[in-house]
Chain A
């Protein structure tokens, strides 16, 4: 069964790791135990209220104050079940948390509102990443701003991503496919749009993908220049001439007057905002709504590259 097709039709997502299957087994046990408990309590309730409904006003009821045996039983039996579940859950949790040796390590950086994945080879990607099948993968994660949480339903695991420290997450996918990554910790406006995909591919496909890094061996400024040539050149010149948009020469660090009358310095934050959300602050003399957003099209590496490149255009 292909994972994509199965997602919508099942009550739990496709299980793409061994541990996820272990999770499903414990969940099935819990569901059955819960169902039995509900039938006992709710069933008993329904039977009693129907059977002992009041037939005449003022009828006598027996005075049953307690039963030590019964009360012991219905404390002790739940306790035993809870302990079984607790130990089983503990074991499962340990599997989720025991980081494997010799895993493929990927650095994950979360920020409002996207995910960046960095490989040892230097390749950095946003929004999606690739891993080889049947090999342990370890994510070392941190956040640049607020809390986020890395969650892949197909792996049945999540881990909060915390600014100022590293948290880890591991998995070994055993089925090829594309799996959904969610941000599960509330992080502001686009929390529900902070998505990514993990592509599980064969080792050969993975090696090929990794070596296909378009920016391999390039400096940040070089990357920026490449992106400029592909995406920005039509509207922005490298002189101070006014095109569709402002020319870039001498722009970095300059104070710009905005259409709304305010003044903003063209620093890293302003350039980033202008790329991702161009209409937030438009420079005076340029109409709003002309520049499209590049959110989701440029990754962190490319954004940083453009900023570093602009700094060099003097």
Chain B
């Protein structure tokens, strides 16, 4: 094997040809395949976002009619949630990094891992076909009875989401088993990197919550196809029941999106402040804590749905509890920077951007969890701004940071730092210009999913649209940085950042089975002494 390394063999050039990729069982190659697919989906979902902001640039019709707007809004939401943010970090970064972090050769079930990717592809293909062929306009939430009384496209879209769900479940299962069974000698649970803790908590959510979505979607399909009354009041069903089922999955799904992002941030902050993490156990356990509590807060999406007053109060209380572990994480990250040796490369900028935006997303989350306050904010732009601060400001910042952080490991090359930082500047500023005004719009009472709005909402909408296009430019620069890095990047060496986790002890790019010699772990993951 040593000769293999000396001859320059790594997972990228070990075999060649498209077929060798499509049938690869190597977690790193599968990770890269996820990276490419998610980036394509993101480009499509992002294009719809740009169109939405163009339409909302002024009151009245601008570039499309109301029906087309509703379709565009549905496409944007469904693509971004089911095909970008949920598979984004776990399936892409997780696949590539998890075995490396554990000192393992691969995940526990490489074939299942490849199958997960195909599930995502098949599910996405069906969903895309349905979106464009039928022009679904239900919003990504598929609320009944609207979704059972409109055109038939919903059923296929839902079927696509159902198959994508299996991708999520299988990936989660794979990660749980890998974490339990394939840790390097000496790597106890308390010596695992925090990214692994985050992925592990996420995997629990994926395995436990996604089946509920699958069941809900099946019930929806049975109602549409067989006329069995579950959610449709005309058939004796209860439309609000759908919301309970839907959010029982989709609230934990919010944490499927954000927990791994938090893991990425823990890695980046320690590496770039060259300092051990402050409060390792607290951060690790708070991931598990957030995952556990997140199963009992779904009703906060339904404060005004007609559920009972007492239910609203209980869900408000439990939601407040999620704020505690989240606050612990934020304070611990800031404390890690204290007396560090901070280097401002692009991954750190994105991690700091994450902290900045996530803090705003977090405090506005508490505002929305306050049940008496939510009755005004529910279904207004305040909510839109809040969840974009958490999911885009949080998850996408972490994905970008993670890409820049692990790019040298994935491809053995360095990106152009100047342009990478510039992409951060555009995305960060554009993001705040887009979404901060939406908090104000929401407070002023502008409801969401509105094709048209009252004239008094126009100035802030206009600012928001300019911000969206700025974000678009930022991501285009980011894409340029990645392509340029692939083609022209300077050689990175095994450990360009001087980080301490195991992936940096092997070559960049790593050889087929990751480590030439089985690593043995004798200390924690962040031993900067």
Select which of B70, B304, B328, B444 is within 8 A of A149 by beta carbon: B304
- The answer to whether A61 and B444 touch (CB under 8 A), given A71-B332, A82-B324, A160-B306, is no
**Is B233 part of the contact surface with A, judged by Cβ < 8 Å?**
yes
The complex places the Cα of A74 from the Cα of B313 at a distance, in Å, of 25
Residues on A with C-beta less than 8 A from B125 are none
Interface positions, chain A 25-39, Cβ under 8 Å from B, are: 26-27, 30-31, 33-34, 37-38
In the complex, which of the residues A156, A158, A160, A189 contacts B67, with contact meaning CB atoms closer than 8 Å? A189
Give Cα A186 to B66, complex, Å: 12
Interface string of A144-164 (1 = CB under 8 A from B): 011101010100111110111
Q: Count residues of chain A with CB under 8 A from any CB of chain B.
A: 83
Are A86 and B370 CB-contacts (below 8 A) given A37-B359, A189-B67?
Answer: yes
**B278 touching A66 by the CB < 8 A rule?**
yes
Task: Return chain B residues, CB-CB under 8 Å to A37.
Answer: 359, 363
In the complex, the answer to whether B145 meets A34 with C-beta atoms within 8 Å is no
Q: Are A26 and B373 in contact (CB under 8 A)?
A: yes
A210 shortest CB reach to chain B, Å:
28
- Give the interface segment out of B406-414, B450-458, B473-481, B482-490: B450-458
User: Nearest chain-B residue to A146 (Cβ)?
Assistant: B146
Contact B337 A145 (CB under 8 A): no
**Known contacts A90-B313, A146-B149, A192-B450; A30 and B367 CB within 8 A of each other:** yes
Q: Closest residue of chain A to B356, judged by CB? A: A42
Is A147 within 8 A of B529, CB to CB? Answer: no
Q: How far is the CB of B242 from chain A (nearest CB, A)?
A: 10
Which of B145, B337, B447 is within 8 Å of A183, CB to CB?
B447
A92 at the interface (CB under 8 A from B): yes
Q: Is the CB of A93 within 8 A of B375?
A: yes
Q: Which residues of A contact B275 (CB under 8 A)?
A: 61-64
CA of A83 to CA of B366, assembled, Å: 11
Interface of B, secondary structure class, is: helix
A156 touching B375 by the CB < 8 A rule? yes
Report yes or no: A162 in contact with B334, Cβ–Cβ below 8 A: no
Choose one: A54, A93, A146, A164; the contact of B372 (CB below 8 Å).
Answer: A93
Task: Known contacts A41-B359, A79-B324; decide if A26 and B370 are in contact (CB<8 Å).
Answer: yes
Could you tell me the distance between the alpha carbons of A192 and B279 in the complex, rounded to whole angstroms?
48
**CB-CB under 8 A for A48 and B280, given A11-B444, A156-B375:** no
With contacts A12-B444, A149-B304, A184-B447 taken as known, whether A52 is within 8 angstroms of B366 at the C-beta atoms is no
Q: For the complex, what is the distance from the CA of A11 to the CA of B437, rounded to whole Å?
A: 10
- A65 at the binding interface (Cβ < 8 Å): yes
- Is the CB–CB distance between A34 and B363 below 8 Å? yes
Interchain CB contact under 8 A, B342 and A53? yes
Q: Would you call B339 an interface residue if the criterion is a C-beta within 8 Å of the partner chain's C-beta atoms? A: yes
Cβ of B327 within 8 Å of any chain A Cβ, yes or no, is yes
If the complex has contacts A37-B363, A188-B70, are A151 and B328 also in contact, measured as CB distance less than 8 A? no
Supposing A54-B342, A151-B379, A158-B379 touch, asked if A26 and B366 sit within 8 A by C-beta, the answer is no
Q: What residues of chain A lie closer than 8 Å to B449, measured between beta carbons?
A: 186, 191-192
Min Cβ gap A232→B in Å is 28
* Complex Cα–Cα for A151 and B454 (A): 15
* Beta-carbon nearest neighbor of A59 in chain B: B341
List of A residues within 8 angstroms of B334 by Cβ? 41, 44-45, 48
A89 vs chain B, min Cβ distance (A): 4
Contacts of A86 in B (CB 8 A): 316-317, 320, 369-371
| Complex Cα–Cα for A71 and B278 (A) | 10
Query: Shortest distance in angstroms between B384's beta carbon and chain A's nearest beta carbon?
Result: 12
Does A278 interact with chain B (Cβ within 8 Å)? no
Q: Find chain A residues with CB under 8 A from B452 CB.
A: 192-193
Docked pose: A78 CA to B365 CA in angstroms: 13
Cα–Cα distance between A62 and B339 once the two chains are bound (Å) = 7
A128 to B366, CA, bound (A): 35
Is A97 interfacial (CB-CB < 8 Å)?
yes
Q: How far apart sit A10 and B440, CA to CA, in the bound complex (Å)?
A: 10
Closest 10 CB pairs of A and B: A92-B372, A153-B445, A164-B233, A89-B370, A192-B450, A34-B363, A48-B337, A93-B372, A8-B456, A61-B275
Question: Interface residues, chain B, CB within 8 Å of chain A?
Answer: 66-67, 70, 137, 139, 143, 145-146, 149-150, 233-234, 238-240, 273-276, 278-282, 303-306, 309, 312-313, 316-317, 320-321, 323-324, 327-328, 330-332, 334-335, 337-344, 348, 352, 355-356, 359-360, 363-364, 366-367, 369-376, 378-380, 440, 443-445, 447-454, 456, 528-529
9 further A-B pairs in the complex, CB-CB below 8 A; given A49-B342, A86-B369: A61-B276, A92-B373, A93-B316, A153-B376, A153-B444, A164-B239, A183-B447, A189-B70, A190-B66
